[in-house]
Amino acid sequence: MSRFLKALASVGLVELSEADQARIDRNKKGGAPSVTTTEDIEALLAQTRGVLEADAPAAPAGPPPPPEPPPLPIATEVQEGRALEQIYAQAGVPAAAFPAEKMLKVLEGLRAMPIEMRRAAVIAMDAADDAWSLDQVVADAQAKRSALEAAMAGLAATATAAEQRATAERADQDRALAEATARIREEIAALEALLQEEGVNVGAEKARILAHLTATREAVARETERLRADLARLDEVVRTFSP
């Protein structure tokens, strides 16, 4: 039994048979090292890792199959993930000494208070600090709201334009399909007419071939009968004068 199995048994991860337990007891009496801690298990894992890797079956020869390529992203006109600061800057929102985001953090810290107490606390902060004013914070929040609303309106306009463009393009595809269908059907009709004409020609040629074969057979029969009559007359000469 391996030291690794003894270690797992010592921490209760496996259950040993009576014979295995008896061998462990004999090893303890003979001065064999004990393994009872997680560090001992990790040490044994490190010692046996090389043996386990050596005993592992060899990997099959040949290069591994190439990974499947990820699906290509579909390009859109929407610029996703823009930073809010970029949106505010494009909208011309000026920098504030006490931005609205900072006030949101203050309000979050006062969330346990009733709203009137929160309002009173913020007003007291405003009165105690001349570097900013509550009116400036509100103006900053309103300006940023306007910037976000404008950005959302732009997204809505982009969606509307995309819908209209997609509708027009799909209509173009439908028209192209209808035109191709009509053209192909005309070609099919022309080919069917050509096939019918070819069938008539082939039928006439086959009739001519059959008539020629019939005439040949009849001519062969007539000529054979004529030669057979001459052959019979000649046979009379042979029969008459042959010894």
- With bands split at pLDDT 50, 70 and 90, how would you rate the model's confidence at 66? confident
* Report field, pTM of the whole predicted structure over 0.75: no
| 10-28 mean pLDDT | 57
pLDDT in tens, 219-229: 999 999 999 98
Tell me phi and psi for residue 32, to 5 degrees.
-70, 145
pLDDT in tens, 126-153: 888 888 899 999 999 999 999 999 999 9
- With bands split at pLDDT 50, 70 and 90, how would you rate the model's confidence at 77? confident
CA distances from 196 to 138, 184, 190 (A): 86, 18, 10
Q: Residue 93, exposed/middle/buried by CB under 10 A (0-12, 13-18, 19+)?
A: buried
Q: Which residue has the tokens 């064999």?
A: 32
pLDDT in tens, 151-181: 999 999 999 999 999 999 999 999 999 999 9
Q: Which of 97, 68, 90, 78 is nearest to 148 (CA)?
A: 90
| 169-197 mean pLDDT | 95
